[in-house]
Structure 1
């Protein structure tokens, strides 16, 4: 593989992972950001993101001088072979993707991009963004390429270096293949296509996963009503290769930095194309209902009303293995509990306080102390290993609502507590202590 000179604009989850991994593949990488303090921390090898193996990659990149961090993209891109835009595209007005950061970065580097280079969008952007960037650049000597990311928080490095596929799209096929060549040492199928199709792939994939998660949450609710066990139902479904077992675990709803904003953006640009995407809209509505179902379960566990109750919350991050609270369903449920008058005390191993509407403590047992009920909202493995007899002594009540189906019901019951999960038969009596 021939080493390329690469500039990565943005050092968030996607940008930092992209830069560190490309440097690890042997490229010469410069990561740029507008935050001077953040750049200084990264240049010193300090990584604030909780992501396995990322800090080590950054340290190795710095030590081999294949990776560096600077403020501002203007000077950095002057000799670049490829510039990756990894800037935020959050949900904007009406659900549409906010492309102001993409536009600002494009404007900053427009005049200094070298002829023959490629401007690559790694950020998730709506269909038509590559064409929009090309018009803004007005540089026929610079190719615009879409190379969407498929990174999961908590496994981002593994996903980058061992992906299921690499998607590269451009209306300039030769440029697309040059960008694809940057991944020559990554063992994965490479799919080269036009820019619009590449941009839609990411949305289509994420929205499919959102629909699948909403579907399994609905199945869990149905299981509760008819006396079936969602574990057994999804096991039977998962053996079907057309379905697969991934994303068939019920929970408090889907969230994080991608699915909510991507479903919103997909609905918005589908509408602009004259298409009523009713299936996706229904999945988004179902996701909001799931949060309300969890709140109702907790209310039922404390006698029907949350006002004046004390609720211990275990987990706030949107999933285990990350400290990301963006659109976290766990945080959403905890906030609604507080809004209904509950006194919420929360613990998450990756989250420190304070947070509005709740007390955040540094120990799961402190969250349980005096609680009328406990609700598990993030699937951290350490919650399985809690001393449940001790938890029972600390609690004022006896109800445990397991919104992740994480715990061993027998361990909770043996402690003299009541357990209820999602879509699973609810034990009626305590097991012998």
Structure 2
């Protein structure tokens, strides 16, 4: 005990120090400084050392609070991403923990799922294209509970360029809400969803019913039946034969041309169209009602074709009639594409003396068919001038001509 402190004071100090030692050790008024009257501190670093620092009568141990025996000695660790922890940590607007999702009430970015954010809230929103698109043509509705005006809503939006809007492709409306002008356009628009049958086409500002073959050579061949003549009150048809040149003029009324087969499959499809009893023929002033008498001349529909001699008086006698074996016959050039290669195919068989040289400019051969077999069989074709007009028929098929034949 310090000799200059009275025993009474000493006892008081000792009492206080004893209490303090129970808490954290007794320090004098020079707290935080070394007491020169105490021995120097020593830190054990020898075997069995636990890293403690000792003073006479006092022992403390360094502990990493809340982290236990950390290998690195660091007192802080990176915390988890706050979004998803179930607590709202600014700038979060919500946080529902594992329930966060881009189709839920609270999104994976901890934002409320609202109309205009481009995310669809399941069970509440039908769609959401974002606030800058919602409500505009072809997009989601303004309040995300319906669709804005669009192609496919069965309403014609003329100011948006629609010319039709009908979900049934047989009425000739394409998937982009424009009118079909050929069967190939319908095939390209709807693919394998459209079967062979009757479709409405629009050409030269005229609407008419065409037969679309959606299978031959990949599909897309267009046919129009024409019957030149008059139907009497008793449903008797009085035919009026036309030459190929005259038939071309009739076909041109609808922006079409006289049929010229591209392949054997195309030719077979043409016979199917000619034989279809629900496919009525047209005439100068409109459509005939499907009539057995009018449409009975199936072979007549293919008795003249749009294949002509390149040079009158010249031919490929003794050769099969197709563009590869007989280039002396050809289709008329397409005015819009005069250099376009337009193949044709009638037969790969040889008929003695045919096609003959007694042909004339713009004159079609006359084609004869055996119809009691399927597919019908070509029995011959003949070239004769017929007073410079060639063969004629009161029935023929017109085509668009935009499908060039088998896929290359």
TM-score, normalised relative to structure 2: 0.20
TM-score, normalised relative to structure 1: 0.19
When Rg is computed on C-alpha atoms for both structures, the one with the higher figure is 2
More helix by share: 1
- Whose relative contact order is higher, 1 or 2, with alpha carbons under 8 Å and at least 6 apart? 1
